Structure 1
């Protein structure tokens, strides 16, 4: 047999893959690819779920930190830490606004508290309810807190006749229309001693007023007028022209309203802040907060109660606030294809009220 002939194989040995073998190989390959794709998609969904949970937890941490900071400072000021110092409020019609309803009138009648909760059906003055952006979502709770702000300046002298405080330096940052809180020892103890009210005291008191001159100098004026304006230039109880002594302190009022509103991406936790001339500016802080439940602890109580169970006269006695936030992801990132929801709870105690 020639060499060429010997190199030729038999017909059976020279044949390729059959159609059936090829189809089996393709099916096996597709099964491997499908398994790999399934693992990839599962890992991707798990990653998105983990990322969403982490984002929710971070948002909750930020929300609780910011809210708890306001709650802890409610009613606080630079002069008194025991919540027993009378604060005379000389603003025009203070009960008409959530950010000014704090303290006592010049006639020494009690106004609202520096901390006030609102149930889902209650109206927060000057906070609109509706479907527009920044508006409060109907039937959601809200919380209002007020305190003396961190920025402050010491008083050198006070002349009630010219409605003028002279302060240590001009770099205080206050400006026309700012709502301020002056507090400290009264230079005219006789005038306070004549007030027949044991809740007023004879040494320290505070006064809420609006600054009526421009900033940039060492003078701070509290004349009648402005927006909303001062109803009286006299800062003492019973309408007397009491004089704050040297080393009294003036600070800008920090007033914040917390509520669930309509944000750019759905339900959002808002903080509305007071700015000069009574302008309230809502800030969109934490997206994805769909519900907020607030409960309050009163002295001698064993349980927290809802806002509607706190008597109107007892908001100044609240010792702590339990905050429950419901947060959800903005898309279907759960392993079940649904948005992830988490409910978290934190308690904040008021620093100037003892548990």
Structure 2
């Protein structure tokens, strides 16, 4: 009797899982694997979403920072804001009357370059740069460059016609004016800088999308930020409370509001899109 019991126990012990037990184990395993896969997919989607959002934020920061530098400097130079802009010509008129101009989709900003070079002597048709600043005028300027020549009293936009050693030549200033001989402005305050003319706009980038571009001094457009779908500029005039797309007088504009629509990589079939805005004051007109 005891032998049969022992054999029965041994048979049940060696029998293994039954069909029902095996199916239950498989179902539980599938549930666990499915849950792990769902968590993995969710993590991947979250990662892609965060990465796309980070790229959008990075592009927006770069775009706003670079455009803000130009807008804040609009109409400015290394000389006093009270230095009167004199002379004729398109560049002079733009610098004096429309330092910021454009439309809702493009922006043009003109100013003097941040780097200015001291003038040691001058005539009505040329200036000689300080030897402590440059060894040769051709190291910093080129023939046909438009330049800002100014002192504490007067500002002129001139075009370089010749460069020789440290001397830059140009067409005669109005009235035969000699910057370093002005009795009402110190000679040491006379400086020469490159005229800066910048255009900002959105265009196709040739890769199936669009980007923010900048063109400087009429040069080839440079891509600044990828994924910018559209840009909108509006302008605030002095004394006004609302921004407008078409100011009646560009000379009154004191601030620019920039609105960017940026698009990142698709996440789960949906495009990641954000619209962000920034307001920039023109430093020369608000200080």
1:87–1:283 CA distance, 2 compared to 1 (3 A): farther
- Listed as ranges, the gaps of 5+ residues in structure 1 are 105-111, 120-140, 186-203, 223-232
**Structure 2 residue corresponding to 1:207, chosen from 125, 142, 156:** 156
User: Deviation string for 1:79-106 (max 9, x for gaps)?
Assistant: 1225x7224245xxx3xxxx776147xx
CA distance in 1, matches of 2:223, 2:257: 22
**Structure 2 residue corresponding to 1:235, chosen from 156, 166, 173:** 173
- Listed as ranges, the gaps of 5+ residues in structure 2 are 181-186
SS for the counterpart of 1:303 is: coil
Tell me the equivalent position of 1:268: 211
Q: CA deviation at 1:24?
A: 2.2
Alignment TM-score, normalising by the size of structure 1: 0.71
Tell me the equivalent position of 1:180: 147
How many equivalent residue pairs? 273
- Which has the larger helix fraction? 2
Alignment TM-score, normalising by the size of structure 2: 0.86
Matched, 1:325 2:268: no
Cα pair 1:76 1:352 within 8 Å, conserved: yes
SS for the counterpart of 1:252 is: strand
User: Deviation string for 1:191-240 (max 9, x for gaps)?
Assistant: xxxxxxxxxxxxx221112212247x210111xxxxxxxxxx1222xxx3
Question: 1:99-178 counterparts in 2 under 5 A?
Answer: 102-103=94-95, 112-119=97-104, 141-160=105-124, 163-169=125-131, 170-171=134-135, 173-178=140-145
Matched, 1:303 2:242: yes
CA distance in 1, matches of 2:2, 2:78: 114
Cα pair 1:295 1:323 within 8 Å, conserved: yes
- Which has the larger strand fraction? 2
SS for the counterpart of 1:272 is: strand
1:26–1:2 CA distance, 2 compared to 1 (3 A): closer
CA distance in 2, matches of 1:30, 1:214: 81
Cα pair 2:212 2:224 within 8 Å, conserved: yes
SS for the counterpart of 1:352 is: helix
Q: CA deviation at 1:305?
A: 0.9
SS for the counterpart of 2:44 is: helix
CA distance in 2, matches of 1:243, 1:12: 115
SS for the counterpart of 2:58 is: helix
Q: CA deviation at 1:177?
A: 2.6
CA distance in 2, matches of 1:55, 1:234: 51
Q: CA deviation at 1:269?
A: 0.8
Cα pair 2:75 2:284 within 8 Å, conserved: yes
